[in-house]
Amino acid sequence: GQQLNQSPQSMFIQEGEDVSMNCTSSSIFNTWLWYKQDPGEGPVLLIALYKAGELTSNGRLTAQFGITRKDSFLNISASIPSDVGIYFCAGGSPRVNDKIIFGKGTRLHILP
Amino acid sequence: KAGVTQTPRYLIKTRGQQVTLSCSPISGHRSVSWYQQTPGQGLQFLFEYFSETQRNKGNFPGRFSGRQFSNSRSEMNVSTLELGDSALYLCASSLEGISNIQYFGAGTRLSVL
């Protein structure tokens, strides 16, 4: 079945550093989504991508839909303490009514 | 516009009991999906309901079931609870189908003792 490989699994960075994480798959997706989950809460949508090559920003966050439609990355610039959490990528299949596939998440830790 | 509402937020049960969780989707959303999340795991897909019909199903035992009402509200039931069922259960709604953007509720934290 379809799988998403999200990396890294966890990151420890200093406040102010830039962050990069990505998702890859052997399957083609027609939608890429990035979510952030704070402890004890549900995931919140950060960025949605609909077209191969698309580059979209949301404040300090930038995400890109890979040209091959099999990958996506998320960058966070100048990290701040509230960026701590788990970031999930999700891919939407071209097949109608197929379920969205989620990556296992990247847990971001920020060192003081 | 109100978001996805899940009740209750926290629940403590003992092994062998059964539990029902509730989810009210965003107004106008017809698709409701349920996920199980345990520490260190990603989002494990349970099932999706669309227009009162189960349309997709994950790889969970038959103890996990759900239903959707005509107003799109959904319930999830777990019978004969096991310790391993302790998890955060998330509900997500989307406008038409599961491949559309999903909006999540805050989840129900279930602890099985």
pLDDT at B98: 53
Please say if the pLDDT value at position A15 is more than 90: yes
Put simply, the chain A residues between 3 and 62 with a CB less than 8 A from any chain B CB are 30-31, 33, 35, 40-45, 48
Q: Which residue has the higher pLDDT, A13 or A1?
A: A13
Q: Which of A45, A99, A104 sits opposite B56 (nearest CB)?
A: A99
Please say if the pLDDT value at position B1 is more than 80: no
Residue type, B45: F
Pairwise CB contact (< 8 Å): A33 & B45: no
Please say if the pLDDT value at position A99 is more than 90: no
pLDDT at B9: 96
What are the residues facing B7 on neighbouring strands?
A: B22
User: Phi and psi for A100 in degrees, rounded to 5?
Assistant: -70, 140
B43 contact residues in A (CB cutoff 8 A):
43, 88, 102
Query: Chain B contact for A88, CB < 8 A?
Result: yes
pLDDT at A92: 86
Pairwise CB contact (< 8 Å): A88 & B45: no
pLDDT at B87: 95
- How does pLDDT run across B67-104, given as a tens digit for each residue? 999 999 999 999 999 999 999 999 999 887 655 788 99
Degrees, nearest 5: CA angle A7-A32-B109: 70
* Token pair 């060192």: residue: A111
Q: Measure CA of the first residue to CA of the last residue in chain B; give whole Å.
A: 37
Which candidate, B95, B101, B107, B109, places its Cα nearest to that of B50?
B95
Q: Which residue has the higher pLDDT, A93 or A22?
A: A22
- How does pLDDT run across B13-43, given as a tens digit for each residue? 999 999 999 999 999 999 999 999 998 678 8
Please say if the pLDDT value at position B46 is more than 70: yes
Please say if the pLDDT value at position A112 is more than 90: no
The shortest C-alpha distance from A14 to chain B (Å) reads 23
Q: Where are the strands (E) in chain A, listed by range?
A: 5-7, 10-14, 19-24, 31-37, 44-49, 55-58, 61-65, 71-76, 85-92, 101-102, 106-111
pLDDT at B97: 60
What is the three-class DSSP state of A4? coil
Mutation for B interface: A88, A99, A104, most B CBs within 10 A: A99
pLDDT band at B2 (very low <50, low <70, confident <90, very high): confident
Classify each residue of A49-66 as buried b or exposed e, where b means 16 or more C-beta atoms within 10 Å of its C-beta: beebebebeeeebbbbbb
- Mean pLDDT of the B33-56 span: 89
Which candidate, A46, A54, A48, A61, places its Cα nearest to that of A92?
A48
Asked if B69 and B50 count as a contact pair (C-beta separation under 8 A), the reply is: no
pLDDT at A96: 60
